[in-house]
């Protein structure tokens, strides 16, 4: 019995080796000329046809991306300076270098069109600015669900609102930032910002220069220098989803946020800029509604001193919610009453794919006592993501 078993094993081995065909033409030729035995030829063929396991480094990864806002705008101003222009309104070029899954360096180049010396009569020019240049470090092993940005970083409010309540940055800044809205600070500044994200609560808080990334290095109002700003936001994600950026066409979310800042001796003045804000948003694939109230205090003659509110909506009735009808109303009441103003935004958008959104819209502003500042805009926009 033992001999029979050994014989069967030997025959099985021989048949497994010599029963295989030699398909590689070079190896087959070497076998036919007697240079290789059948066993050697089969083994060599196996070795050559083995797929090498791809080797990739997960510790370092470079990512590129960006946005571009391209379009045409016709502006009908009450002061008689009507104009129509094809525009590259904004361009963001984003580079991220990852040290591991979370820790990274980010660089964002911001290309924008603006008036020379902020005066429409002097024409337009293209400006290049560094919007972000920071190190992000995850410290969840020290503070749960938390990391920090150090450098020219996000500030706690605007990035959150633009990715939850107002999705049309390509045609207008948010009420908080817009020149004809509350006209407060931009979305980035030099400083240190902490981010905490959990399923039902998220927050951002930190200490910043208080100038905004578009004022870094400038000494306004008598060259008195600038002192730090403290700023923070806390958000209750009522239905969850606080760990990730929302997807408005496929998700339902409801958030309530509180936001506050104090910029000491803001932009070199003798007065602190303080801002308090409450914001709420509800979204489902069919529609979005959002609203906010802002109170601000600065020096007595500033248009930034006052309070105001804003409401916006979006209805997505057709084509798997890819077509939107939207509108927004802003009201700012300044302590200096000549700056009291309203803004109306209305339009329709088509999200053609994940790269391109087309928008047709209008914007109307109405200053209570400065009619020369009133205007009507009509815009066509291609919002490009890559």
Is the domain of 83 the same as that of 44? no
Provide the CATH number for the domain around residue 219: 2.40.160.10
Distance separating alpha carbons of residues 14 and 37, to the nearest angstrom? 13
In a domain, 169, yes or no: yes
CA 141 to chain CA centroid, Å, is 26
Tokens of 45: 């063929």
Instruction: Inform me whether the pLDDT recorded for 219 exceeds 90.
Output: no
In a domain, 348, yes or no: yes
What is the pLDDT confidence band of residue 117, given thresholds at 50, 70 and 90?
A: low
Is the domain of 100 the same as that of 243? yes
Q: What does the pLDDT read at residue 161?
A: 98
Contact 170, 381 (CB under 8 A): yes
Distance separating alpha carbons of residues 265 and 224, to the nearest angstrom? 9
Is the domain of 272 the same as that of 374? yes
User: 13 by DSSP, 3-state: which?
Assistant: helix
Tokens of 289: 């509604």
Instruction: Inform me whether the pLDDT recorded for 16 exceeds 50.
Output: no
Q: What does the pLDDT read at residue 32?
A: 73
> What one-character DSSP code corresponds to residue 339?
G
As for how many domains the chain has, the answer is: 2
In a domain, 279, yes or no: yes
- pLDDT above 70 covers a percentage of the chain that reads 83
Segment 50-69 shows an average pLDDT of 68
What is the pLDDT confidence band of residue 300, given thresholds at 50, 70 and 90?
A: confident
Q: Which of 143, 149, 70, 78 is nearest to 108 (CA)?
A: 149
Identify which has the larger pLDDT, 182 or 127.
Answer: 182
Which residues have C-beta within 8 Å of that of residue 340, sequence separation ≥ 6? 332, 333, 334, 367, 368, 369
Contact 70, 89 (CB under 8 A): yes
Burial of 54: CB neighbours in 10 Å, binned 0-12, 13-18, 19+: exposed
Instruction: Inform me whether the pLDDT recorded for 67 exceeds 90.
Output: yes
Residue 268 main-chain phi, psi, to 5 deg: 85, 0
| Tens digits of residue pLDDT in 184-207 | 999 999 999 999 999 999 999 999
Which residues have C-beta within 8 Å of that of residue 56, sequence separation ≥ 6? none
Q: What does the pLDDT read at residue 37?
A: 76
Segment 231-256 shows an average pLDDT of 96
Query: Which DSSP helix (H) or strand (E) runs through 352?
Result: none
Taking the model in full, what pTM does it have?
Answer: 0.81
Is the domain of 105 the same as that of 219? yes
Is the domain of 162 the same as that of 209? yes
Burial of 282: CB neighbours in 10 Å, binned 0-12, 13-18, 19+: middle
Segment 156-172 shows an average pLDDT of 97
What is the pLDDT confidence band of residue 345, given thresholds at 50, 70 and 90?
A: very high
Q: What does the pLDDT read at residue 378?
A: 98
In a domain, 55, yes or no: no
In a domain, 56, yes or no: no
Is the domain of 45 the same as that of 135? no
Q: What does the pLDDT read at residue 52?
A: 45
Is the domain of 183 the same as that of 325? yes
In a domain, 68, yes or no: yes
> For residue 309, how many other CB atoms are within 10 A of its CB?
17
What is the pLDDT confidence band of residue 49, given thresholds at 50, 70 and 90?
A: low
Instruction: Tell me the Cα Rg of the chain.
Output: 30
Is the domain of 175 the same as that of 307? yes
Q: What does the pLDDT read at residue 54?
A: 44
Is the domain of 332 the same as that of 370? yes
Segment 88-110 shows an average pLDDT of 94
What is the pLDDT confidence band of residue 118, given thresholds at 50, 70 and 90?
A: low
Most confidently modeled range among 45-54, 57-66, 168-177: 168-177
Distance separating alpha carbons of residues 205 and 259, to the nearest angstrom? 10
Range of the domain at 16: 2-49
CA 52 to chain CA centroid, Å, is 39
In a domain, 54, yes or no: no
User: 116 by DSSP, 3-state: which?
Assistant: helix
| Whole-number average pLDDT of the chain | 87
What is the pLDDT confidence band of residue 116, given thresholds at 50, 70 and 90?
A: low
| Tens digits of residue pLDDT in 18-44 | 445 777 776 777 677 676 777 777 776
Is the domain of 131 the same as that of 216? yes
Q: What does the pLDDT read at residue 382?
A: 98
Instruction: Inform me whether the pLDDT recorded for 125 exceeds 60.
Output: yes
Is the domain of 169 the same as that of 40? no
Is the domain of 37 the same as that of 87? no
Write the DSSP assignment of 15-54 as a string of letters.
HHHHTS----HHHHHHHHTTSS-HHHHHHHHHHHHPPPPP
Instruction: Inform me whether the pLDDT recorded for 149 exceeds 80.
Output: yes
């Amino acid at each position: 019995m033992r001999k029979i078993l050994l014989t069967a094993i030997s025959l099985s081995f021989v048949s497994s080796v010599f029963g295989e065909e030699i398909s590689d033409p070079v190896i087959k030729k070497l076998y036919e000329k007697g240079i290789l035995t059948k066993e050697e030829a089969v083994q060599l063929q196996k070795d050559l046809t083995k797929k090498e396991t791809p080797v990739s480094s997960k510790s370092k990864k470079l990512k590129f991306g960006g946005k571009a806002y391209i379009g045409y705008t016709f502006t009908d101003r009450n002061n008689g300076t009507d104009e129509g222009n094809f525009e590259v309104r904004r361009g963001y070029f984003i580079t991220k270098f990852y040290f591991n899954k979370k820790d990274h360096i980010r660089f964002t180049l911001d290309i924008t069109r603006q008036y020379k010396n902020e005066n429409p009569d002097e024409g337009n020019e293209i400006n290049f600015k560094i919007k972000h240049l920071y190190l992000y470090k995850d410290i969840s092993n020290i503070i749960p669900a938390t990391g920090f940005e150090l450098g020219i970083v996000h500030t706690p409010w605007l990035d959150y609102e633009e990715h939850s309540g107002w999705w049309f940055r390509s045609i207008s800044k948010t009420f908080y930032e817009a020149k004809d809205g509350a006209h407060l600070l931009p979305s980035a500044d030099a400083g240190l910002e902490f981010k905490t994200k959990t399923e039902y609560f998220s927050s951002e808080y930190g200490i910043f220069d208080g100038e905004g990334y578009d004022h870094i290095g400038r000494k306004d109002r008598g060259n008195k220098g600038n002192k730090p700003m403290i700023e923070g936001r806390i958000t209750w994600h009522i239905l969850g989803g606080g760990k990730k950026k929302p997807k408005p066409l496929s998700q339902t979310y409801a958030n309530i946020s509180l936001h506050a800042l104090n910029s000491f001796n803001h932009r070199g003045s003798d007065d602190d800029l303080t801002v308090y804000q409450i914001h709420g948003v509800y979204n489902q694939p069919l529609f979005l509604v959002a609203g906010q109230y802002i109170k601000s205090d600065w020096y007595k003659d500033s248009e930034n001193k006052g309070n105001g509110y804003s409401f916006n909506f979006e209805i997505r009735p057709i084509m798997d919610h890819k077509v939107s009808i939207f509108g927004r109303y802003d009201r700012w009441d300044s302590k200096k009453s000549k700056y009291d103003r309203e803004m109306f935004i209305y339009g329709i958008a088509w999200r053609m794919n994940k790269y391109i959104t087309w928008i047709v819209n209008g914007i109307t502003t109405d200053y209570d006592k400065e009619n020369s500042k009133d205007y009507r805009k009509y815009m066509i926009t291609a919002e490009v993501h890559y």
